[in-house]
Amino acid sequence: MSIFRFNFDKTLILLISIFHALSGSSNHQHPVNTTHRQLRRNDDGHFYYFAFGSNLLKERINVNIPSAQFVSIGRLQNYKLVFYGNSSNWHGGLASIERRRGAKVWGCIWKVPNSFARALDRQELLYRRLDVDIKQPLSHHRRKVRCRTYQYKNPEVGKQRPSPHYKHVIVTGAQEHHLPDSYIERLKKIKTNAYRGRVKVRLELLRRFRQRG
């Protein structure tokens, strides 16, 4: 009986030691490392969206996604900014991207709740969804973020100039989020179709724009 008790005690001590060893390793706190892989998983119920058109402007993106959070500015490599089609809402061409070696498009990275994914898709009805890697030049580690963005579905309709209203929203959004000055100057030089009527998009910015004449 004493031998059995001795062996039982030894076994119990061994099991307790193993349990504490495992518990200690699982409770060890590692520093948070926000890697590219972690950003792509979007475990927190959000996704990252790269805006380069009218959604550069906070007032504009908040129309459909009031809880969108600005993360940082970003740069899409080997793409250029173009304008396609003739939007009935904006009365002119819509911003899109097309591949161009060595070119770059600047924009905003927004953090968007997954619950607003369909709302964003509806706003971008004339676009197809793309996943792109966006550089964050101003971040400490200059890491890339995997973002959702949108590209015009039917480029065969041809390139068209944007309306002054649409251009004004894009330029103001770029200024609001401090995109590089050289890029803002390029945006300012975009030629418009000189449309002088009203657009269907309701923004305080555009109300003031109309009043200015």
Binding-site positions for substrate? 49-54, 166
Phi, psi angle pair for 122, to nearest 5°: -65, -40
| Residues that are catalytic | 124
Residue type, 11: T
| 187 contacts 170 by C-beta, under 8 angstroms | yes
How far is CA 41 from each of CA 35, 62, 191, rounded to the nearest angstrom? 10, 24, 40
Rounded-to-integer distance, Cα 22 and Cα 71, Å:
38
